[in-house]
Amino acid sequence: MRRRVDAARLGRGGAAMWLLLGPCLLYLAAFAIYPLIYSLRLSFTDLTAADGTGRWVGLKNYGDLLFDPQFWNAAMNSATMVVVAVTIQVVLGVALAMFFSLQLTGESIVRGILVLPMLITPIVVGVMWRALLNPDWGIVNWAIARLGFEPPNWLGSIGMAMKTLILVDVWQWTPFVFIIVFARLQSLPEDIFEAAQLDGAGRIAVFRQITLPLLMPAIVFAAVFRAVDAFRSFDLIYGLSYGGPARSTTTLSFFSFQNGFQFQNYGYAAAVAYMMLLILVVGTTFLLRFVPLRPGHAR
């Protein structure tokens, strides 16, 4: 947004301004803010689909949550997924950005390919990887066996399923970090690097002391977005592992969904969702202290 405040023009919009802005604000108030308040109210009731009344139970749902081992299991799974997946994506994404700045012939085609996974229906991504990793006929296990290794039980074992979920998330979303960091890298003036090289700085020194600090805003931005998206992730889990086996991939999103849709316990599901919102607000407020949100785009 333009930082420049034009005092002379401040009131100039008047009625026309509200005509242009009003519909958007009213719409979001009705279909985004109101549902959030509705959800908060639900979280204080014991509303279920079967009994449509829903008595006020105060903080009971939240109290129950704190003593529900399944809630803590889901919270741990969410934390694992966010921290591990985003860390891997940031490291690989930055590496990819550096790699693509070599400007090899045909790199734009490969960049075009790498964008695709992000656009694809998450449900289908889940099915696709269930096929690739199928223990009986999947091509990945066939290749691993051909190379003489013992193929892992990707989605069938409790110890492995979360790693597989993270692997698929990394496949789908590393390009996001890459694209954003790459855009930033392209916008940096060449002469900084040339000057450093003339001064006799080695490649690693240039990367650590010049490139990386300059890329930092883009890296943090991408990491925040990825963290929020990984935290909200639901469809992919639905399509890939359905929270199993033995709840090992049940994240907070999926846990809330199960309570709401499967067990139709709307009050409890809303309480879980509000815990998620709380974590999101606290988390993003903390993270965004390092990088301001600003509309616009990287060039």
Partner 1 sequence: MNRLKRRAGRAIAYLALIILGIVGLAPFVYLAILSSKRRIDILTQVPPRLTFDWTTISNTYREVLFSQGMFDFTKNSVIVVGAATLLALIIGTPAAYVFSFMRFRNSENFASTILSMRFMPPIAVAIPLFLMMKAIGLQDTYFGLILPYVSFSLPLVVWIMIGFFDEVPREIYDAALVDGCTHPVLLWRVMLPIVRPGLVTAALFAAIFIWNEFLVALYVIDSRDLQTISLGAATLVSAQRPIDWNIAAAVGVVTVIPILIFSLLVQRYIVRGLTAGAVK
Q: Looking only at residues 70 through 129 of this chain, which bind partner 1 when binding is defined by CB under 8 A?
A: 96, 99, 102, 104, 106-107, 109-110, 112-124, 126-129
- CA count, 13 A, side-chain hemisphere, 296: 10
In the complex, least distance from residue 243 CB atom to partner 1, rounded to whole angstroms: 9
Buried residues in 207-241 as b, exposed as e (16+ CB within 10 A): eeebbeebbeebbebbbbbbbbebbebeebbbbbb
Q: Does 239 bind partner 1 (CB under 8 A)?
A: yes
What's the CA gap between 266 and 276, in Å, rounded? 15
Q: Which residue do the tokens 């690739």 mark?
A: 132
In the complex, least distance from residue 276 CB atom to partner 1, rounded to whole angstroms: 6
Stretch of residues binding partner 1 (CB under 8 A), selected from 66-74, 81-89, 199-207, 213-221: 213-221
Nearer to partner 1, 37 or 66 (CB): 37
Nearer to partner 1, 108 or 209 (CB): 108
In the complex, least distance from residue 265 CB atom to partner 1, rounded to whole angstroms: 10
Judged by CB under 8 A, which of 68, 130, 188, 206 binds partner 1?
A: 130
CA-wise closest residue to 185 among 87, 111, 117: 111
Q: Does 13 bind partner 1 (CB under 8 A)?
A: yes
* Number of neighbours of residue 90 by Cβ within 10 angstroms: 20
Q: Does 246 bind partner 1 (CB under 8 A)?
A: no
Judged by CB under 8 A, which of 183, 188, 196, 214 binds partner 1?
A: 183
What's the CA gap between 201 and 71, in Å, rounded? 52
Q: Does 150 bind partner 1 (CB under 8 A)?
A: no
Q: Does 273 bind partner 1 (CB under 8 A)?
A: yes
3-class DSSP assignment, residue 290? coil
Q: Does 204 bind partner 1 (CB under 8 A)?
A: no
∠ Cα 97 170 167 (to 5°): 145
Judged by CB under 8 A, which of 61, 164, 211, 253 binds partner 1?
A: 253
What's the CA gap between 14 and 7, in Å, rounded? 14
Stretch of residues binding partner 1 (CB under 8 A), selected from 69-77, 159-167, 180-188, 206-214: 180-188
